[in-house]
């Protein structure tokens, strides 16, 4: 006699906050998911949420989707269980903190917050409310990247990770005016993927940035970054956002040197491993049921809310990626090696001041240091 099958958990009732292009992508992801159910859309611009629903949600489902400008109110009226924050980074702290204190778990788009201090503050708000805050660092949800890690582990583990990224997109808009468009807006994905490959916390960052004479960006569109993880493990990144011609994939090109050989990943197809004796092995193809990027983030979030494992990008874990970005910018501007512990401690002091002014969370007062707080949170 076969064992009875386990009942499928009810879909998590979610509200998407932010009705711009990325918000609409998330609305579509929720609609395609069996683990989540869309019950609301919110945008600070009056009428924007309703327009997004009309343009993205099938007509038969629209009556079941509440809209408005206030996240907590829409969530309350809609009977939501969780919030997906797809607002601009400057709004992440307020939207996420309000949701957490209303008892609503949050899945937020990267970056965690506009500043490292605000990101650490949100880790404290998550602790004080006992409510999950997960960051969708969606590019790590790539089966090829996970296979790269598996191959590297078989060869003894990553010792040197090297990433090359060369693209020439003409976005226009805010990226063209940023001081460090490559490091802040794009390299964050490579830094986070490097953390997937290296099983340790980063220790220090050394970076140099520049802007080629033909660049159409106001800020530095090229950079070289070295991230030290201790024990001799290093991740180096070199790239440019204004290099036409022979471009890499959007995920970059990766070489991982291990004691027993080397793994190569072109960012688009399965990786290959070459053993020290010369034998070459092609990595496994993704399975038909594998989830990618946004869909994988949403599935992991919903599974956690239904009693599953703690998400890999829960806020305390994800803050390390944002700390690498902040350290890289600081190093590029000062020409000095920057210790992650110092960056995190400075951000912790600022976060404590934010929380004292806010008055809703005192969790950070128990943190001895920024790094120790993230490790034990």
319-372: per-residue pLDDT in tens?
999 999 999 999 999 999 999 999 999 999 999 999 999 999 999 999 999 999
Please indicate, yes or no, whether residues 226 and 243 belong to a single structural domain of this protein: yes
The CATH number that applies at residue 351 is 3.40.50.720
> Over the stretch 314-328, which tens digit does the pLDDT of each residue have?
999 999 999 999 999
Name the token pair of 77: 């009226």
pLDDT greater than 80 at residue 6: no
205 in the same domain as 309: no
Same domain for 190 and 266, yes or no, is yes
Question: 278 and 156 share a domain?
Answer: yes
Q: 276 with 301, same domain?
A: no
Q: What average pLDDT does the chain have?
A: 94
Q: What is the pLDDT of residue 257?
A: 98
> Residues 129, 174: one domain?
no
How many domains, in total, are found in the chain?
2
Assess whether 163 and 252 both reside in one domain.
Answer: yes
Question: Residue 265's domain spans which residues?
Answer: 142-282
The sign one gets for the Cα dihedral 342, 343, 344, 348 is positive
Taking phi over 0 as left and psi of -120 to 50 as alpha, with beta for the rest, 232 belongs to left
Which pLDDT does position 251 carry in this prediction?
Answer: 95
4 band by pLDDT with thresholds 50, 70 and 90: very low
Alpha helices in the chain (DSSP H): 21-31, 48-56, 71-78, 89-101, 116-129, 143-154, 181, 187-197, 293-305, 315-334, 340-358, 370-376
- Where is the domain boundary, 233, 262, 282? 282
Judge if 151 and 209 occupy the same domain: yes
Does one domain contain both 303 and 207? Answer: no
Per-residue exposure over 335-366, b if at least 16 CB sit within 10 Å of its own CB, e if not: eeebbbbebbbebbeebbebbeeeeebebbee
Domain identity same for 107 and 181: no
What pLDDT, in 10s, does the model give residues 109-160? 999 999 999 999 999 999 999 999 999 987 888 999 999 999 999 999 999 9
- Tokens found for residue 143: 């089966």
Nearest residue to 215 (alpha-carbon basis) of 183, 238, 182, 188? 182
More confident residue, 76 or 279: 76
- Given a cut of 90, is residue 173 above it in pLDDT? no
Whether the pLDDT of residue 271 is over 70: the answer is yes
Give domain status of residue 322, yes or no: no
For residues 203 and 100, membership in a common domain is answered with no
Which pLDDT does position 1 carry in this prediction?
45
Q: Please tell me the distance from the alpha carbon of residue 62 to that of residue 230, in angstroms, as a whole number.
A: 52
Residue 177 within a domain: yes
Q: Find the length of the chain.
A: 377
Q: Is it the case that residue 3 has pLDDT exceeding 60?
A: no
Q: Tell me whether residue 335 is in a domain.
A: no
Separation of alpha carbons 106 and 18, rounded Å? 13
CA distance linking residue 188 with residue 109, whole number of Å: 13
pLDDT higher than threshold 80 for residue 292: no
Same domain, 11 and 131: yes
Provide, rounded to the nearest whole percent, the portion of the chain with pLDDT above 70: 98
Q: Which helix (H) or strand (E) holds 251?
A: none
Q: 53: which residues sit within 8 A by CB, 6+ positions away?
A: 27, 41, 62, 65, 67
Band the pLDDT of 23: cuts 50, 70, 90: very high
Q: Which of 241, 258, 282 is the last residue of a domain?
A: 282
pLDDT > 90 in the chain, percent: 89
């Amino acid at each position: 006699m076969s064992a009875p099958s386990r009942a499928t958990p009810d879909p998590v009732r979610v509200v998407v906050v932010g009705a711009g292009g990325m918000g609409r992508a998330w609305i579509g992801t929720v609609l395609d998911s069996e683990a989540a159910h869309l019950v609301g859309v919110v945008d600070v611009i009056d009428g924007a949420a309703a327009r997004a629903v009309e343009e993205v949600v099938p007509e038969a489902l629209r009556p079941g989707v509440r809209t408005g400008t206030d996240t907590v109110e829409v969530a309350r009226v809609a009977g939501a269980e969780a919030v997906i924050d797809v607002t601009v980074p400057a709004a992440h702290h307020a939207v996420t903190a309000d949701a957490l204190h209303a008892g609503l778990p949050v899945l937020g788009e990267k970056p965690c917050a506009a500043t490292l201090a605000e990101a650490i503050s949100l880790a404290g708000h998550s602790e004080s409310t006992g409510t999950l805050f997960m960051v969708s660092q969606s590019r790590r949800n790539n089966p090829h990247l996970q296979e790269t890690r598996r191959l590297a582990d078989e060869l003894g583990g990553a010792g040197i990770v090297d990433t090359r990224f060369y693209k020439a997109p003409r976005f226009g808009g805010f990226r063209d005016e940023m001081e460090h468009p490559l490091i802040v807006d794009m390299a964050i994905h490579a830094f986070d993927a490097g953390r997937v490959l290296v099983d340790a916390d980063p220790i220090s960052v050394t970076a140099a940035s520049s802007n080629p004479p033909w660049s159409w960006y106001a800020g530095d569109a090229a950079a070289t970054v070295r991230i030290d993880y201790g024990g001799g493990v290093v991740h180096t990144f070199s790239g440019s956002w204004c290099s036409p011609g022979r471009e890499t994939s959007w995920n970059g090109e990766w070489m991982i040197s291990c004691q027993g050989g080397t793994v190569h990943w072109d960012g688009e197809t399965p990786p290959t491993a070459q053993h020290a004796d010369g034998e070459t092995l092609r990595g496994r193809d993704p399975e038909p049921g594998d989830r990618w990027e946004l869909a994988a983030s949403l599935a992991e979030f919903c599974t956690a809310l239904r009693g599953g494992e703690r998400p890999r990008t829960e806020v305390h874990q994800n803050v390390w990626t944002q700390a690498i970005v902040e350290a890289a910018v600081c190093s590029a501007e000062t020409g000095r090696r920057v210790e992650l512990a110092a960056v995190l401690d400075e951000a912790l002091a600022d976060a404590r001041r934010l929380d004292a002014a806010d008055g809703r969370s005192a969790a950070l007062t128990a943190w001895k240091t920024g790094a120790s707080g993230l490790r034990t949170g």
